[in-house]
């Protein structure tokens, strides 16, 4: 992989991971004001961001399996951290939405 292409992949992972985290945070904020439909829409957006990151990771894994080894450096580790944070924050947001809904249903 050419260095420019590799950096584009890394920046894409950072962007998608960051977007997922922001969208999940937005879902929590909407939940706090009782906008559950808006919260679910924000989670759907987070899911799209996570899918985009996952598609990139799948492409990298496929290339790795075909013998095209990815350079793993601090940039790549940082990018993967952003993706994992986005996934974790999304999962937490889904649980918080369920808790808020349960509390307000009473």
As a whole number of angstroms, the distance between CA 38 and CA 57 comes to: 29
Active site residue 69: no
Given 16, 54, 69, 78, the catalytic residue: 78
Characterize 3-25 residue by residue with b for buried, 16 or more Cβ atoms within 10 angstroms of its Cβ, and e for exposed: eeebeebbeebbebbbbbbbbbb
- Give me the active site residues, please: 78
């Amino acid at each position: 992989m050419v260095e420019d292409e590799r950096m584009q992949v890394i920046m894409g992972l950072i962007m998608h991971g960051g977007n997922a985290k922001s969208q999940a945070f937005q879902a929590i904020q909407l939940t706090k004001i009782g906008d559950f439909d808006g919260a679910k829409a924000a989670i759907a957006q987070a899911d799209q961001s996570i899918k985009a990151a996952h598609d990139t990771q799948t492409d990298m894994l496929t290339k790795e399996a075909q013998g095209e080894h990815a350079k793993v450096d601090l940039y790549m580790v940082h990018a993967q951290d952003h993706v994992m944070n986005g996934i974790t924050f999304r999962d937490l947001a889904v649980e918080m939405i369920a808790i808020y809904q349960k509390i307000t249903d009473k």
